[in-house]
Amino acid sequence: MNAEYIRARFHQAYAGFNLDVDLTLPNRGVTALFGHSGSGKTTLLRLIAGLDRATTGYLEINGQVWQDDSRCIFIPVHQRALGYVFQDAALFPHLTVAQNLAYGQKRRAATSREADGTPAAQSDDLVELLGIAHLLERRPATLSGGERQRVAIARALLARPRLLLMDEPLASLDLARKREILPYLERLHATLAIPLLYVTHSPNEVARLADHLVVLEKGRVITQGPLAATLARLDFPGAADDDFGTVIEGNVQAYDTRYHLLTLAFSGGLLRVVHEPMAVGQKLRVQIKARDVSLTLTADTATSILNVFPAKIIAEQPTQIPGHLLLSLDAGGTALTARLSHYSYEHLNLRPGVMVQVQIKAVAVITSFAFMMYAFNGLSSFA
């Protein structure tokens, strides 16, 4: 139990850049490897999978050493209990969906002696969860992009991985397909018992899916840590984007059916959002865009803004837009980012260290129906 983490250390020179990372990652939940194209995030994922080999590397998953070049250890890909989902699904075109799903399942079943649970029932649950039961007899060529990606995810999970790797699984899909598949990923997030490393360049996907965030730039880790705190750092590469937002996680404290109003208790106070009913005590993650956060020095009760809670200004930073400022705030341990006009900042005499009241309209809080899937307790954990 003392080795419940992923340790990845790689050093490798490439044509354009040097990859140089030394990471210790949690062994549960979703870790996003975030960075712009060319930052080395896919390269890192392939090294972890063993699809490529760094000359100097060390990789340990839950106490199992997969690569240690100082001891000449390199477990070949097919002997690593991992699942890998490529950007474009990479389904076998000569096999049906059912045969694609069975491909890894039967190979790993033959080698793995650590069978737990009932694989057949598990595979039915998974097929159900990903909504692909009606596709089993079809050929990959006849599926939509979103369907293909869901089959690829199911195929990877059925091979009983101890680590799941996804390389921008949504990047090749259009917006509608992304919207279609994100809820499934969120459901997975809620039920998955193994760590997931998720490569992406989309701050939005990070906010919706990740628990832990690693930011890569030019082959180096520039920052990493728990999601909410890392997102709120002003040097986060997506922070200057117009629709950038941070996340607040909390537990449901009350639900008012008349106004469809859900009260969420988080470390900085209470947050009220318009939402579908949820049972008290359940977890909910919501996203708050930096430009939906306003600040005031005194809490005004005669306002339509439902959420007002205290926070401290930690830092400020100009944005690409002249006249806009980004502020990082600390609300009782929850980090937030606010986008303000430079005028307001000076007019209110704000500066780092000042206590302010944060105001967020209840209707500006971004929730997703799929976050409800945290409530989805009917399923046992996979893998």
Binding of other proteins by 285 (CB under 8 A): no
Could you give the angle at the alpha carbon of 14 between the alpha carbons of 78 and 32, nearest 5°?
A: 60
25-54 footprint of other proteins as x/- string (CB under 8 A)? ------------------------x-x---
What three-state secondary structure class fits 166?
strand
Alpha-carbon distances, residue 86 vs 273, 293, 335 (angstroms): 36, 37, 33
Smallest gap from residue 99 Cβ to other proteins (A): 10
Span between the terminal Cα atoms of the chain, in Å: 18
Binding of other proteins by 189 (CB under 8 A): no
Smallest gap from residue 351 Cβ to other proteins (A): 52
Supply 117's token pair. 């649970």
Binding of other proteins by 86 (CB under 8 A): yes
- Ordered DSSP codes for 90-155: ---TTS-HHHHHHHHHHHHHHH-----S-HHHHHHHHHHHTT-GGGTTS-GGGS-HHHHHHHHHHH
Among 69, 88, 217, 292, binds other proteins (CB under 8 A): 88
Smallest gap from residue 35 Cβ to other proteins (A): 21
Q: Contacts with other proteins: how many residues (CB under 8 A)?
A: 25
Cα 3 to the center of its chain, rounded Å: 23
Among 35, 57, 83, 169, binds other proteins (CB under 8 A): 83
Smallest gap from residue 308 Cβ to other proteins (A): 50
Decide whether 90 or 305 has the Cβ nearer to other proteins: 90
Smallest gap from residue 44 Cβ to other proteins (A): 16
Closest CA to 281 of 245, 254, 251, 318: 251
Rounded to whole angstroms, the Cα distance separating 294 from 275 reads 22
Scanning 102-110, 221-229, 281-289, 352-360 for contacts with other proteins by CB under 8 A, the matching segment is 102-110
Rounded to whole angstroms, the Cα distance separating 129 from 138 reads 18
| Binding interface with other proteins (CB under 8 A) | 49, 51, 76-80, 82-84, 86, 88, 90, 92-94, 103-104, 107-108, 111, 139, 155-156, 159
